[in-house]
Structure 1
Amino acid sequence: MVQKVYDVKGMTCDHCVQAVSSELNGLPGVEDVQVDLPSGQVTVTSEQQLDSAAVAAAVDVAGYELAGGESQ
């Protein structure tokens, strides 16, 4: 398993959390998505390394933006 933390800009409420979680959970190989709303950090657990462009695209579809890619 691979776990990565991403910074996402623009999330302000539970609806934001659900939108981002739903899109990221739709990526192939994603096992779990945890969102910390106050910090804007999203932890994605996947079977293997995810393509950062795919993660950015999923966040974009949800209506938000990755802030500089991975934070860890």
Structure 2
Amino acid sequence: MKETLLHVEGMSCPSCIRHIDSALRGIQGVEKVDVKLREGTVLVTHDPSSAPTTALIDALRDAGYSSRPRAA
């Protein structure tokens, strides 16, 4: 398992947290999602062989959010 910290743009309310959580948990290989609204980040614990970082970013884009990896 790998932890990936993503900076997410466009999060503004608790509904965004649920939307992002749902989008990422829908990816096979994602084990844990921790959304931090104030920091504008999401920490994802995932299996990089079945859920690479690009898949996480794509899922967030499809959900309406732009994101990019961020140093922990």
Q: Which band: TM-score by shorter chain?
A: 0.7 to 0.9
Identical counterparts, % of pairs: 35
Alignment length (residue pairs): 69
Amino acid of the residue matched to residue 15 of structure 1? S
The 5-angstrom pairing of residues 17-56 of structure 1 reads: 17-46=17-46, 48-49=47-48, 50-56=51-57
Q: TM-score, normalised by structure 2?
A: 0.87
Q: TM-score, normalised by structure 1?
A: 0.87
Structure 2 residue runs without a partner (length 5+) = none
Q: Once the two structures are superposed, what CA deviation does each residue of 1:27-72 show, in whole Å capped at 9, x if it has no partner?
A: 11100100000111100011x2232321111101211111xx2112
Structure 1 residue runs without a partner (length 5+) = none
Cα RMSD for the two superposed structures: 1.1
